[in-house]
Amino acid sequence: MIGGRAGHPHPARGFRHPGRVIAVAFAAAVAVGIGLLSLPIATAGPGRADFLTALFHATSAVCVTGLVTVDTGTYWSGFGQAVILLGIQAGGLGIMTLASLLALLLSRRLGLRARLIAQAETKALSAADVRRVVRTVVVFSLATEAVVAAVLAVRFATGYGQSLPSAAYYGVFHAISAFNNAGFGLEADNLVQYVADPWISLTICAAIIVGGLGFPVVFELAREWRTPKTWSVLTRITVVVTGALLVVGTVGFLVAESGNPGTLGPLSTGAKVLAAFTAAVMPRTAGFNNLDIAAYQPETLLLTDALMFIGGGSAGTAGGIKVTTFGLLAYVLWAEMRGDPDVEVGRRKVPGTNQRQALAIALLAIGVIAVATFLMEALTDFTFDQVLFEVISAFSTVGLSTGITADIPPAGQVLLVLLMYVGRIGPLTLASGLALRERARRHQLPEERTIVG
């Protein structure tokens, strides 16, 4: 058989190495961003950005991370900010489109239900399917961003005295940054000055959650929100784990930070709840900060580390190992504790291949973070809490920081660039590679149990 092993469907031929396509596409986008941000017109002051600054911010934008070494609103000119915004948009749309097309491909390759992709009911990966998925993802993304931008623009104009052009620009910038889970802001303190403003905080949180849930989940919820029993395993795990983590995060922030004068302490009771909820949404992985992270209690930093590591939904704009990976491993643990022979989510059995894939992604992510933390500790003089927070934030493409990013030496910033790139393409590339490599074996070796624990 020409072009592949027998039994492989023709649609998979063009995607035999989807990881390479993803890696090259993101690298090309970063390269374009570097070139544009290196132009003198990209900076607000005289001269031009040095290569490392352009590299760092182009990568942070395309990988929708939000870590910065210079202030976005003052260092970059309007042209530079537009380049960053286009990088965010390209990165976010690219992630959602590639992940959605991958899900469509896998529905054909592995026989999964094609309705994981909202507009692709067919089981054939044809040109029409690709066009339909791409068109729907783009329209959905732009429409959501437009609504969020309009709401924010009205608030910026009426509540903060901005002119209509300025309010509109602020609305568009923050809407795109929020929906794509990027976390870039135009103010030096990001969203700290809006910490008690429910209009801005909740609108941005809504955009982050919708973008982080993922295209397949959002459209399945839109069709079948009245009948949870019919939800796919993907939607069920994403919704349940996302809701649980938001509750745990909000309560955790309230308990740890309510008496902290540097964060929630000075706020009223209502403002504390709003700020705690917003702070719990941001690590999922938006990167906006509505509180001074440098003033966090150690236990709050640890909670945020955990939320950043888990991240958001699959086929969405969020990073991390994904709530589906975390949720599936939780179901595996629960089944093992109960002595159940199978892992069941709702009324469906999860195949062993999915369980192994989730375990592989989680363990590899832990390994990358451990090695990067070790290297960063050797390169800097910051505390372990600060270094671990920065590394997880970069790998999970979150963008939150305790304020040390600009003070990290060049070698450490290059390491963060690599972490952002690997963290953005890694989970998707690994998931696709593991899934597409799955094949039946015609023989089995003798079974032998070993001692575990």
In the block, tokens 């991958």 appear at: 102
Residue 406 lies in a domain: yes
In the block, tokens 């976005």 appear at: 72
- Return d(Cα 149, Cα 171) in angstroms, integer: 4
In this structure, the dihedral spanned by the alpha carbons of residues 103, 106, 108 and 114, taken in order and rounded to 10 degrees, is -30
**SS3 assignment, position 348:** strand
Helix ranges (H only) for 339-409 are 352-379, 384-395
Contact 432, 321 (CB under 8 A): no
Tell me, rounded to whole angstroms, the distance of Cα 404 from its chain centroid. Answer: 22
Residue 446 lies in a domain: no
Strand-pairing partners, residue 348, are 345
- Cα–Cα distances (Å) from 62 to 10, 305, 319, 408, in that order, read 32, 22, 13, 21
Contact 327, 354 (CB under 8 A): no
pLDDT score for 184: 94
pLDDT tens for the chain, 453 residues long, are 344 444 444 444 444 455 667 777 888 999 999 999 999 999 998 999 999 999 999 999 999 999 999 999 999 999 999 999 999 998 888 776 766 666 555 555 433 333 333 333 323 344 455 667 777 888 888 999 999 999 999 999 999 999 999 999 999 999 999 999 999 999 989 999 999 999 999 999 999 999 988 878 888 898 888 888 888 888 899 999 999 999 999 999 999 999 999 999 999 999 999 999 999 999 988 889 999 999 999 999 999 999 999 998 877 788 899 999 999 999 998 888 888 888 888 778 888 878 888 888 899 899 999 999 999 999 999 999 999 999 999 999 999 999 999 999 999 999 999 999 988 887 656 555 555 555 556 667 677 666 666
**SS3 assignment, position 428:** helix
Residue 3 lies in a domain: no
**SS3 assignment, position 328:** helix
Contact 70, 45 (CB under 8 A): no
Q: How many helices (H) and strands (E) does the chain have?
A: 15, 2
Indicate the residue type of 129.
D
Strand-pairing partners, residue 43, are 76
Residue 410 lies in a domain: yes
Residue 285 lies in a domain: yes
- Return d(Cα 212, Cα 447) in angstroms, integer: 41
* Other residues' Cβ atoms within 10 Å of the Cβ of residue 235: 26
3-state SS string for 7-67: CCCHHHHHHCCHHHHHHHHHHHHHHHHHHHHCCHHHECCCCCCCHHHHHHHHHHHHCCCCC
Indicate the residue type of 265.
G
- Return d(Cα 383, Cα 389) in angstroms, integer: 10
Residue 444 lies in a domain: no
DSSP state, residue 76: B
Residue 72 lies in a domain: yes
Residue range(s) defining the domain that contains residue 139: 10-435
- Return d(Cα 232, Cα 354) in angstroms, integer: 14
Structure token digits, residue 421: 């790139």
Q: What is the pTM of this model?
A: 0.86
In the block, tokens 């300025």 appear at: 166
Residue 282 lies in a domain: yes
What angle do the packed helices 127-159 and 215-224 form, to 10 degrees? 90
**Read out DSSP for 184-213?**
--SSTTTTGGGTT-HHHHHHHHHHHHHHHH
pLDDT score for 356: 84
- Return d(Cα 47, Cα 343) in angstroms, integer: 59
pLDDT score for 230: 84
- Return d(Cα 313, Cα 236) in angstroms, integer: 11
**SS3 assignment, position 373:** helix
Q: Please list the helix, strand and coil fractions of the chain in percent, rounded to the nearest 5, in that order.
A: 65, 0, 30
Contact 208, 282 (CB under 8 A): yes
What angle do the packed helices 233-257 and 215-224 form, to 10 degrees? 100
Structure token digits, residue 109: 């390759």
- Cα–Cα distances (Å) from 290 to 187, 286, 409, in that order, read 11, 11, 27
- Report the relative pairing of strands 348-349 and 344-345 from DSSP bridges: antiparallel
Domain total of the chain: 1
